[in-house]
Structure 1
Amino acid sequence: MAVLQGCPGIKVSIVSNGQALQEYPDIEGDFNNKDYASLPVSLQSLSYVECTSEAEFGIRVELDQTYNSWQEHTHLAFRAYVDGQGIGGVNKQIGKWTYDIAEAIIDSSPTEQIRRKLKFSSITKVDDADSVRVKTDAKFATGLGEIIVYVHRCNHEPIREPIYGRPTSFITAPKEISEKALKGQAISHGVSFGEEVRVNVPRKTEKAVFIDGYIRPHGVFRFRYRSREGLKQELIIPRSPSPEPGMRPLKPHTQSTVNAALSRGERLAKLKREIDEIKSEDHDGTTGGRKRNRESSGVQSSGRAYKTSRQSNGSVVIDLTADE
């Protein structure tokens, strides 16, 4: 869960399937965004999270009693953006609470909202260098792959007239984008929006007034979402080491393979003894008739017949390939 070092008590995380996604803080990231360049680094947070294709997600904001309001404001407002688009948010009185921004919200009327679920959708990079396409894709790529939550200190005052400050529609991320438009970023996903659901809501009687102004937030949380491979490409997580050539895992010896090895060894030892016996007969005082008899018959003391032949140097060669 991301926090602001300079403002304890405020926490934000990205949740999917009921669980907060693991965060990889980027303490050496870009904290010089022109939209909040004057904001101290201690009031900014930048993290990476791993996303999964077609998974719904939400933004969880928490406030606890360690937050110090300095008696200057009564509420905190959280404004959420995905891929550069504002999707709504929440403003609540200072206290201890947790709230999930799980949908993009449009105020269609003072008493009705249109809500759409948030989902990670994969994007295919294409090698298209057409200047018109690259220029068009580059505009959409601004903010792509990033979730931003702005925190504002505010007070509430009565509403005199209905206010509509939210967009009337949302733009779903494209399925394809020119790789050149991404300028080397390992962006793998964008945000798509679910079906519209219309919900009746009470008419608002109060509005938030930001004491620091709308363009100067009190804190900023940024989350860059990537596939696992994208996180590796941006060196956020280490790559798996490649196996060395020729290295294969050793197969464990089972009892049957051990027994087979022993019986084979016994057979080889037996054959070696028989060969040694034949060699000794060639060099002792045995008559030539007996040797010729053995050579012609090929019968050994074991009772097994083998094909034999004599080489020019006098050595005997035995063919051990006969069927058992």
Structure 2
Amino acid sequence: MAITESHPRIKVEIICNGTALKEYDDDENDDSRDTVTRYIEAKSGEEFEVRHTLTKPYPDTAVLFVILLDGKWTRGSFMRPSSFHGQTTDMTVKGANTVIDEEWFLKKFCFSELTIDDSDLGLAGDELMKTLKEMGEIKVEAYAVKNLRDSHHGPRQATMTDLGTIPEKALKGRGTTHSTSLRAPTPVSKGTVLHYEYVDPDKKPFAIYKFKHRSRDALKSLMVIPRSLSPVPLEERDINTLNPEEMRELLKRQKEQEAARKVKLEVKRERPRGHNVPANGDDDDDEVSFVSAKRRKLTVIIDEDGMETIDLT
């Protein structure tokens, strides 16, 4: 759960399939007392929700939570003092509201994998880099608000960015793999739109929660989560730790190695003795056979005194 240092009684979580996603620290980000940044794992096509939880003692004013996906305003939701009951109070936002022909619809949040190629940045490089600055991030801003009252206007429409294919160079060093998108609209009951006023005259949020979503491989490459360790060979593991399947595989390997050893020994036994040693000295028998040269006939010379001399040249 993401909790700021200055507001420990408010937490924000990203929910998938009813469970809060595991969060990882962003060691390179220098958060302030009012800001917290976490990494989470994104899976292509998976829907997600944003849950806000308040714990006693509750704030004195209503709280407006604004959700920005990839840097774009997507949804604003209120938690009012009239709803503060018990030890904790929470609210889950599943998507963005829209009105079509006076009928209310919900577009659920989901993760979408980016389409990346190796093309050049081109002339649109600067504009693209500006757009990508907050790509791959879910940001929740919390504001203290007052004087809430009904409005006759419809809900504010979410704006999403479709970048198409993105050059890999534009994402270098960011590890961004996913964007966020909205599902097709599904009918919901009519909601309420409220007017409000900011407690802070500068209209600044009192807390900011950032979630950088990346694929699991990207989280490993960024050293956010440990890389998978190489498996220890079966031959080097303690035999008591092997399961039945691993034990069968180990026995199979040992039989194959023993069969190969026996074949090698048979080949050595059948090889004829006295063969020449290859020029590179690669001989499995480690034996050397010498081939004798033919004895040449020596020349005998008899001088005039009858002495015999043997010519050794």
The alignment's TM-score, normalised by the length of structure 1, stands at 0.66
CA contact (8 A) 2:175 2:222 kept: yes
Match of 1:15 in 2: 15
Match of 2:156 in 1: 166
CA gap 1:241/1:126 in 2 versus in 1, 3 angstroms = same
Note if 1:228 corresponds to 2:216. Answer: yes
CA contact (8 A) 1:27 1:46 kept: no
CA contact (8 A) 2:104 2:191 kept: no
Q: Which amino acid aligns with 1:195?
A: A
Quote the Cα distance in structure 1 between the aligned partners of 2:53 and 2:191.
24
CA contact (8 A) 1:173 1:190 kept: no
Alignment of 1:1-324 (within 5 A): 1-26=1-26, 28-31=28-31, 41-67=32-58, 69=59, 73-94=60-81, 95=84, 96-106=88-98, 112-159=103-150, 162-163=152-153, 166-167=156-157, 170-201=159-190, 204=193, 206-213=194-201, 215-241=203-229, 248-250=233-235, 252=247, 254=251
Quote the Cα distance in structure 2 between the aligned partners of 1:151 and 1:13.
13
Identity of aligned residues (%): 28
CA gap 1:213/1:226 in 2 versus in 1, 3 angstroms = farther
Aligned residues: CA RMSD: 3.6
CA gap 1:115/1:249 in 2 versus in 1, 3 angstroms = same
Quote the Cα distance in structure 2 between the aligned partners of 1:307 and 1:88.
83
CA gap 1:231/1:155 in 2 versus in 1, 3 angstroms = same
Quote the Cα distance in structure 2 between the aligned partners of 1:308 and 1:28.
67
CA gap 1:154/1:308 in 2 versus in 1, 3 angstroms = closer
Q: Which amino acid aligns with 1:131?
A: G
CA gap 1:195/1:311 in 2 versus in 1, 3 angstroms = closer
CA offset at residue 182 of structure 1?
2.5
CA offset at residue 58 of structure 1?
0.9
CA offset at residue 194 of structure 1?
0.8
CA gap 1:137/1:157 in 2 versus in 1, 3 angstroms = closer
Quote the Cα distance in structure 2 between the aligned partners of 1:307 and 1:79.
84
CA offset at residue 180 of structure 1?
2.3
CA offset at residue 18 of structure 1?
1.1
CA contact (8 A) 1:133 1:178 kept: no
The alignment's TM-score, normalised by the length of structure 2, stands at 0.68
CA gap 1:175/1:120 in 2 versus in 1, 3 angstroms = farther
CA gap 1:155/1:27 in 2 versus in 1, 3 angstroms = farther
User: Aligned pair count?
Assistant: 253
Instruction: Give 3-state SS (helix, strand or coil) of 2:227's partner.
Output: coil
CA contact (8 A) 2:35 2:209 kept: yes
CA offset at residue 198 of structure 1?
4.2
What are the Cα deviations for residues 4-28 of structure 1, in whole angstroms up to 9, with x where unaligned?
2211211111111111110002254
CA gap 1:309/1:151 in 2 versus in 1, 3 angstroms = closer
CA offset at residue 191 of structure 1?
0.9
Q: Which amino acid aligns with 1:113?
A: W
CA contact (8 A) 1:106 1:113 kept: yes
CA contact (8 A) 2:177 2:215 kept: yes
Quote the Cα distance in structure 1 between the aligned partners of 2:104 and 2:202.
23
Q: Which amino acid aligns with 2:46?
A: A
Match of 2:297 in 1: none
- Unaligned 5+ segments in structure 2 are 236-245, 276-313
Quote the Cα distance in structure 2 between the aligned partners of 1:59 and 1:86.
14
Instruction: Give 3-state SS (helix, strand or coil) of 1:128's partner.
Output: coil
